[in-house]
Each structure stands twice: as structure tokens, then as C-alpha cells.
Amino acid sequence: MAVAARKGRATASPLTGSPVAIATTARPGFLGGWLSRIPLPKWALIAVAVAVAVVLLLFLICIVRCCCGKKKPKKKEGVSLRAVSGSSTVCLVQPEMEDLEQGTEKMGRGKLQYSLEYNFRAQELKVGVKQAAELKAMDSGGTSDPYVIVYLTSDMKKKYETKVYRKTPNPIFNESFTFQILQAEVPESTLVMQIYDFNRFTKHNIIGEVRLPLASVSLQHVIEQWSDLVAASKVEEEQLGEICFSLRYVPSTSKLTVLILEAKKLKRMDSHGLSDPFVKVHLILNRKKWKKKTTSVKKNTLSPYFNEMFVFEVPFNQIQNVDVVISVWDHDKVTKNEPIGKLFLGCRATGNQLRHWSDMLSNPRRPLAQWHSLQPPDVVDKALGLKSHLKLSLPPR
């Protein structure tokens, strides 16, 4: 019976302890009971759970992007600030490269001593090349073979050279040269003194130069001074001179009138520093020479006055195809006449020439005068592109 009683207690204990067992298993059964209360099938609940998970994932991605987006503007602002402050910092700490180059040129090329004396009675400029010092070494041995070229920009054909001094950065030249130049032309000219390094088998290298505008100095007394050498500038275009003329076209009468007035600052062509200028007026039709007229010759002058008129008959339907070529020549009795400079006007022209031509066409019957700079003859001929005329040789008799 004792055994039976024990068994009875053993079997009875689960019944009496059932409330405790229910209390211990209430948590795992609570979610299932809560879900069982929702009136939805299982597949709907799974779909809702997946949707919630997707929303949470997207929310996390948005948070990450917002954080990154806040950092990017800071980077951009940093770059822009560097770009702004960087230039100002460089300017404050480091000088401009041009200033450094100019400083190197002035300190590293050397200097030249020269003298100037102008004879107002003879209208001559005497240039004395005295000496140079601390010249830049151009040879592999650390020295140079210097010499000096002297000329005026008003007459670039006439150039003087000193002797060559071997292997020295401090040559003493003590040479003088005389230029014929009118007093009225002195302020418009520049004295150029260039120091070269002599090479026997290769091109001579320029060490530096001194450019002295004569308008900036007083030639009332003798000048003697030192000047620093600077890098040689580009070869200046030779000044050929200027010419003034007027144009007038009357469509009703088909008359084109060219009035050659005067010229000035013409290039020197004769040995005595003057020229014997005259002017040719050519009409070019469809790139072929058509008509020509010539002024009289003015002797021994660089500023001739002509005031000569030429009238050409040009039909209105041809005026757009016509080019007017104005050329200034130096007359020579013995040798062939040489061209000083040219220019052309027409619809194919450019710059002041085209503007003068357009003004003439837009103002019929009204003469319009204007100054023009002469250009090298070969440049104008190339721009015109004239068609060559082949001359047939006659058979021998």
C-alpha cells in the first residue's frame, strides 16, 4: 500500500503541479497565442513580416546616405577654400615666376657701358660702346667670346659691329659709330645694342641687349652710363612708313577717284639716308591686273607731298570684284626701282583697309581720306594671290 500510495502521489503531483507547469511555459506560448488571435492566414503574416524587414532595411540605408551626404559638402568646401586661399598664399610666400625670370636676367646677363652724343649741326648721332662686365657664360668652358651689334630702329639696314674679344666676361671695346639721323626723327627712334657670343661653326648666341628709346634721354649734352642687359626681344617688324589718300565712288557715273595726298616716315632706301619716292595705283579685277597709274617722283625725302588725283571707270556691277593696290616705290636712275611698301583695299581686305573701303561704298559721292601703314610687298602680293600671266616666247627668226 505504501508503494501504491507513492505511485498515487507520483501520479497526483502532475495534476497538482499543473499550474506551475503552465506558468513556466507561458512565454513561448504567448507569441503563438497572440498570433492565433490575429484573423489572418500564415502567408499574410509572413508577407507582413517581410515588408517590415524591407522597410527597416531601407530606413538604415537612408540613414547611411544622409550621414555620407553631410560629409561630402565639407570636402567640397575644403577644396574650394584651398583653391581660393592657395593662390593668395602663393602670392604672399612665393613671388611670381615672371619676377623671378626678370631678376635672373638682370643679375645673370651682365651690363654694358656706352655713351651718346648728338651733333645738331651735322644731325649725327655718335654712339660709343665702352665696355661690358659680368657677362653671362655661353661656352662650355664657362666663358664667352663677346661682340656688340649697334643699330637704330629707324634704319635697320645700317648696323655696326665691334671686334670679337676671346674668352672674357669683361671685354673693353672702346669703339664708336656714327648714325645720320634728322633731329625731327630722333624721338621716334630707339637705339639697340646687342651683345653676342661668337661661335666659329654654329649660330652666334645672343647674351642680352640694351634698348634705349631716344625720346627718353636728353641729347643736349654727352651721356655716358651703364645699363643692365635684358633678354633679347623678338625681332621688330621694320617700319616701312605711312601713306594718306582718299577714295570716292559715284555709282551713277561709275567713277572711282583715288587722291594720293602724302606719305611720312618712309623707309630709307638710298645710301645718304633718304629716298626718291613715287606711288603706283593698280586696279585688280578678278585677281588680274587691270589698270595702273603713277604719281610723279619726289626727290630726297622721306615725307613726300603728292596731292595727285586719278580717276578710274569701274562699273557698279564690278566694284565688288575690284582691289585697289597702293604701292610706294623708290626711284633709281641707274638700277631698278625698288618697292618700299604696299597695301590693298577691297572686299577681300582686312582691318583698316576693309573699313576704309566699306565706308567709301556706304557713302557714295563723298571723298574719305585716311592714313594707312605700308606692309611688306611680298606679304601683300601673297594675300592678293594674283594670277600669273604666262609669256609665250617668240620663235627665233
pLDDT of residue 15: 42
pLDDT at residue 83, as a whole number:
38
Claim to verify: residue 261 and residue 356 sit in the same structural domain? yes
Structural domain span for residue 130: 110-229
pLDDT of residue 147: 93
- CATH number, domain at 299? 2.60.40.150
179 lies in some domain: yes
- What's the pLDDT score for residue 52? 83
The pTM of the full predicted model, rounded to 2 decimals, is: 0.47
> pLDDT, tens digit, for every residue of 317-362?
999 899 999 999 998 887 888 899 999 999 888 878 888 999 999 9
H helix runs in 94-157, sequence order: 97-108
Cell numbers placing 82: 584651398
- Residues 302, 209 within the same domain: no
215, 258: one domain: no
Clarify whether residues 214 and 259 are in a common domain.
no
Whether residues 261 and 376 fall in one domain: yes
Length of the chain: 397
Domains in the chain: how many in total?
2
Taken in order 159, 165, 167, 171, is the CA torsion positive or negative?
Answer: negative
Phi, psi of 140 (to 5 degrees): -65, -25
Residue ranges for the chain with pLDDT beneath 50: 1-26, 70-101, 103-106, 388-397
Sign of the Cα torsion 82, 88, 93, 96 reads: positive
> Phi and psi for 214 in degrees, rounded to 5?
-65, -20
**Residues 145, 225: one domain?**
yes
Give pLDDT tens digits for 101-140: 454 444 578 999 999 999 999 989 999 999 999 898 887 7
Q: Does residue 219 sit in the same domain as residue 263?
A: no
User: So what's the pLDDT on residue 234?
Assistant: 62
Q: Which of 260, 245, 234, 254 is nearest to 352 (CA)?
A: 245
Four-residue CA torsion sign, 355, 358, 363, 369: positive
